[in-house]
């Protein structure tokens, strides 16, 4: 893998992890299309660490406020009295469905990532989900009014994103719109409720670093890590600003075009 490919991998991971266009779909399809070198475990761990750093860095103030309120609620034995404390519990609650299904179907899911055709089909599903999300748009409920039922529904939609090509942010934003959130609130909660899953995947990938031997120069790894972190941070900011006045149709069109083009290419 060249330095340029390492930087490209970091950019792809950073952008597609947070935009509703599926990081898994791109990481399966792009090497197949452009015959790119497969990254080693150290590289995979570092680009995941980069995106984890990006989301923590962007939402650091929120996370500090949530953490303080969460601990205060436990100490006072009134865990749901504060909006930030409730949000902390909802972040954990929303992560349960994907955690259960991810562990139960681990072998099956890993096999799906061997198929670029499955990833292309997943992008078409993501496109349909985003269009449905726009049709469901109601825009009346702030995050503070979310209920446990809303959170479980949004969290359950993350299960679909365990398949290649189906966007985690796309499915959770759509579920948030269905439950009455406006676009910016749905996107913000999507990032927060997905943070435990992103952190879990990132930490597991980071642990792989310690059991693997790097095969590339250290500069390649550092470049990929920085590219993933910077791109991820910028894409979070971009999406939250974009959805204040724009729809999800642009991302739906992108997923549909890429998925269709690959299926035509494969045939």
Would you give the distance in Å from CA 67 to the centre of its chain?
21
Number of domains in the chain: 1
pLDDT beyond 80 at 248:
yes
How much is the pLDDT for 150? 92
Looking at the DSSP assignment, which residues form a beta bridge with residue 113?
Answer: none
For the chain, the maximum distance between any two Cα atoms, rounded to a whole number of angstroms, is 62
Mean pLDDT of the residues in the chain: 87
Side-chain-facing half-sphere of 62: CA atoms under 13 Å = 17
What tens digit of pLDDT does each residue of 119-148 get?
999 999 999 999 998 887 766 788 888 899
Domain residue limits at 244 = 3-266
* Confidence (pTM): 0.87
**Rg of the chain over CA atoms, in angstroms?**
18
Q: How many of the other CB atoms lie within 10 Å of CB of 210?
A: 9
What tens digit of pLDDT does each residue of 203-237 get?
776 776 666 666 778 888 899 999 999 999 999 99
pLDDT beyond 80 at 113:
no
Q: Taking residues 81-98, report their average pLDDT.
A: 90
Q: Taking residues 54-83, report their average pLDDT.
A: 90
Q: Which is nearest to 54 in space by CA: 184, 252, 213, 239? A: 239
How much is the pLDDT for 56? 93
């Amino acid at each position: 893998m060249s330095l340029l490919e390492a930087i490209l991998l970091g950019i792809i991971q950073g952008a597609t992890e947070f935009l509703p266009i599926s990081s898994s779909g791109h990481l399966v399809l792009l090497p197949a299309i452009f015959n790119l070198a497969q990254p080693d475990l150290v590289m995979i761990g570092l680009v995941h660490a980069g995106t984890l750093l990006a989301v923590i860095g962007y939402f650091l103030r929120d996370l500090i406020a949530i953490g303080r309120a969460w601990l205060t609620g436990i100490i006072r034995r009134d865990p749901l009295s504060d909006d930030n404390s409730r949000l902390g519990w909802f972040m954990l609650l929303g992560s349960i469905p994907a955690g259960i299904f991810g562990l139960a179907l681990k072998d099956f899911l890993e096999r799906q990532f061997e198929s670029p055709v499955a990833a292309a089909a997943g992008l078409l599903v993501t496109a349909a989900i985003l269009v449905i999300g726009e049709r469901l748009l109601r825009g009346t409920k702030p995050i503070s009014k979310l209920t446990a039922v809303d959170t479980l529904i949004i969290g359950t939609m993350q299960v679909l994103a365990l398949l290649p090509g189906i966007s985690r942010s796309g499915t959770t934003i759509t579920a948030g719109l269905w439950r009455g959130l406006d676009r910016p609130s749905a996107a913000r909660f999507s990032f927060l409720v997905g943070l435990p899953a992103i952190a879990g995947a990132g930490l597991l990938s980071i642990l792989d670093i310690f059991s693997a031997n790097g095969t590339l120069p250290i500069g390649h790894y550092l470049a990929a890590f920085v590219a993933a972190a910077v791109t991820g941070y910028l894409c979070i900011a971009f999406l939250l600003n974009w959805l204040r006045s724009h729809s999800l149709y642009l991302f739906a069109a992108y997923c549909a075009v890429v998925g269709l083009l690959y299926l035509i290419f494969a045939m």
